[in-house]
Amino acid sequence: MSAAQPTRMTYREACRQALRDALNAEPRSFLMGEDVGLYGGCYAVSKGLLEEFGDRRIRDTPLSESAFVGAGIGAAIAGLRPIVEIMTCNFSLLALDQIMNSAATIPHMSGGQFAVPVVIRMATGAGRQLAAQHSHSLEGWYAHIPGLRVLAPGTVEDARYMLAPALADPNPVLLFEHIMLYNAEGEIPPDVTKVDITDARLRREGGDLSLITYGGSLPKTLEAAARLAEEGIEAAVLDLRVLRPLDEAAILATVRHTGRAVIVDEGWRSGSLAAEIGMRLMEQCFDSLKAPVARVCTREVPIPYAAHLEQAALPSVAGIVEAARGLLEAT
């Protein structure tokens, strides 16, 4: 294979390679979490890393989310660069005290004396019939909290390269990996060896409306944009990538250009990240809007087990297409 060829890999492989790079590049880093070592990771992300790096760098923990997340925070404050894995964001609620009351507060509360350079990775999202205690999307909640940086890689490229800058960040970073993306394949261009963790990225150009999304909803949104194109509607797709702090300039720029916005968010509608983005559009580019801002969010139910119910609850390609059409028909 020549050097000019793009690299093809799955999102899972990209996450694993990112971990491998981080562990090689940063001697103070280690991975810690439930079943990350011997078992190879609940979603097989860390498979093989225990053999490669040993049990000081790949640290299996008891089922004590609060203690091992808090230990990651404490270790970061005291000079290490921990990468903590929580199996799913649903379990992160058992560690919410440490994330919110310690990681997010200590830099400020200490008057800048202590930084918390920890990375906390967790799986998020629905789609595998795992029912209401394994399927929620809580990244929007975390994006509410000052002091945290919240990342949602929606592409293989971001899964591959977001971890390095996250680990270099002096602040606590939460990284949400969508469970439906782990098996997805993608290509990384040969010239890409790093990404930023600050900017939203336009994944598709279009002048008729802006579809604003992130993470697991990105592939659905791109598919919706392709279908709309078949109907002659050109939709721009903005991948937020960073949910806190939001790249407000990019959001405003695309909506000022198109005059229409549909926000696609796997979080529940009420109090969602979509609501926040919609409000910022009202505040800052009301005059550019040709139609009311629309949203496609998850229906307000605990995610059910039955496949047809689960799918009905989640944002869908058809739902995004319909919302987009609705906006164009309205104007």
For tokens 């319909």, what's the residue? 322
Beta bridge partners of 8: 187
Sequence-separated (6 or more) residues with CB below 8 Å from residue 86: 33, 34, 65, 69, 92, 95, 120, 121, 122
65 included as an active-site residue: yes
Among residues 78, 232, 270, 287, which is the contact residue for other proteins, using CB under 8 A?
78
Q: Which residues of 168-196 are buried (b: 16+ CB within 10 A; e: fewer)?
A: ebebbbbbbbbbbbbebebebeeeeeebe
Tell whether residue 326 is a contact of other proteins (CB under 8 A).
Answer: no
- Give the torsion sign (CA, 324, 179, 103, 79): negative
Residues 211/237, Cβ–Cβ less than 8 Å: yes
Tell whether residue 33 is a contact of other proteins (CB under 8 A).
Answer: no
Query: Which part of the chain contacts other proteins (CB under 8 A), choosing from 99-107, 120-128, 176-184, 225-233?
Result: 99-107
| Other C-beta atoms lying within 10 Å of the C-beta of residue 25 | 11
Which is nearer to other proteins, 170 or 302 (by Cβ)? Answer: 170
Tell me the angle at which helices 273-285 and 248-258 cross, rounded to the nearest 10 degrees.
60
For tokens 């649903």, what's the residue? 90
Among residues 108, 128, 194, 299, which is the contact residue for other proteins, using CB under 8 A?
108
Query: Which part of the chain contacts other proteins (CB under 8 A), choosing from 34-42, 58-66, 153-161, 176-184?
Result: 58-66
Tell whether residue 114 is a contact of other proteins (CB under 8 A).
Answer: yes
Tell whether residue 38 is a contact of other proteins (CB under 8 A).
Answer: no
* Cβ at position 69, least distance to other proteins in Å: 7
257 included as an active-site residue: no
Among residues 101, 193, 198, 331, which is the contact residue for other proteins, using CB under 8 A?
101
List interacting residues with other proteins (CB under 8 A).
28, 30, 56, 61-62, 64, 66-80, 82, 97-98, 101-102, 106-115, 117, 146-147, 149, 170-171
Q: Which residues have a catalytic role annotated?
A: 65, 134
